[in-house]
Structure 1
Amino acid sequence: MSDQTAMLQEGAPAPDFTLPVNGGNTITLSTMKGQPVIVYFYPKDNTPGCTTEALDFTQLADDFAALGAGIIGISPDSVKKHENFVAKHDLKVTLAADTEKEVCEGYGVWVEKKMYGKTYMGVERSTFLIDADGKLARIWPKVKVKGHAAEVLEATKALKA
């Protein structure tokens, strides 16, 4: 876990952000107060794990909507890449483009990674459940995709109970 993620504690206010989203609009987290919001960070559009995760959240989108919950997926990809990703897989989640990686850094998910002996900076797949008051209700660092969206849905239901 990065130092920043360690600083973000459950119960703390979620860092606010405004980012461009698919469809040519912007989304601001603080305007979504009054409802739970799932913010999930993922490395890259159209890669196997990221596609599975987006499809899993899409499959459960109606269940999240029934709870009044919004879902925002964030990666450093451009809005154009997000729009292609949404169209290709018929995604029903809002994807925000953090091309400057400021929100990723603010949430502590822009970290040093290693693959095949090379070190590089990238997104650590992480999910944040934000309650209706704008506070971090639950944090999932280093997410394993299989079953994750369902686990987030259960946590969201518990929040509403």
Structure 2
Amino acid sequence: MPVPEIGTPAPDFTLQGVLLDGSGAERGAYSLSAQRGAPVVLAFYPGDDSAVCTKQLCSYTSDLDRFRDLGATVWGVNFSDLDSHEHFARKRDLRFPLLADTERTVAKAYGVTMPGLGLKRSVFIVDAEGLVRWKHVARIGLTFQDTDTITAQLAALGRR
């Protein structure tokens, strides 16, 4: 499937995810449509505990207050299962949900799979109405979109 265009409805989905909660981890279902009314940052990342992914998700965790100040939620998505996500979250103290797209249906719907290679490092901002308002899909995922870039795009949503 092609990558959704800016201004079009974001493909809806429900995935199981894990979120660190105090000393424990809470597992549950996360539905994009249930987030209507507030923006969501979807961060598709290739692998739990890999070097670039660790830097990316740790930086987002460090800056969660900046996302929250703009009313946004951050979700990480990849093909790993919940056990892998929980291990990664605990090891790195990640404080936002990591969603398990084990069947690759969501990544395919967003056009971010690479046949035989896995997942393109990608970030989508979905606005409060469920529309794609910004996206970055990397050809080679050796770098990532930083918090400054993403929060600038989130702030621009409020000026539309």
**Partner Cα distance (1:147, 1:67) in 2:** 17
With normalisation by structure 1, the TM-score equals 0.88
Q: State which of 131, 144, 156 in structure 1 corresponds to 2:154.
A: 156
**Partner Cα distance (1:147, 1:79) in 2:** 24
**Partner Cα distance (1:148, 1:64) in 2:** 12
With normalisation by structure 2, the TM-score equals 0.89
**Partner Cα distance (2:154, 2:97) in 1:** 17
Structure 1 segments of 4+ aligned residues over 6 angstroms from their partners:
none
Contact in 2 for aligned 1:11/1:137 (Cα 8 Å): yes
Q: After TM superposition, give the deviation of residue 158 of structure 1 in Å.
A: 1.3
- Aligned residue number for residue 2 of structure 2: 4
2:133 is aligned with 1:137: yes
Q: After TM superposition, give the deviation of residue 31 of structure 1 in Å.
A: 0.4
The 5 Å alignment of 1:42-81 reads 42-81=45-84
- Aligned residue number for residue 18 of structure 1: 14
Q: Where does structure 1 lack aligned partners over 5 or more consecutive residues?
A: 113-119
Contact in 1 for aligned 2:6/2:134 (Cα 8 Å): yes
**Partner Cα distance (1:146, 1:131) in 2:** 21
Size of the aligned set, in residue pairs, is 150
Bigger proportion of residues as helix: 1
Q: What RMSD, in angstroms, separates the aligned Cα atoms of the two structures?
A: 1.3
Q: After TM superposition, give the deviation of residue 144 of structure 1 in Å.
A: 5.4
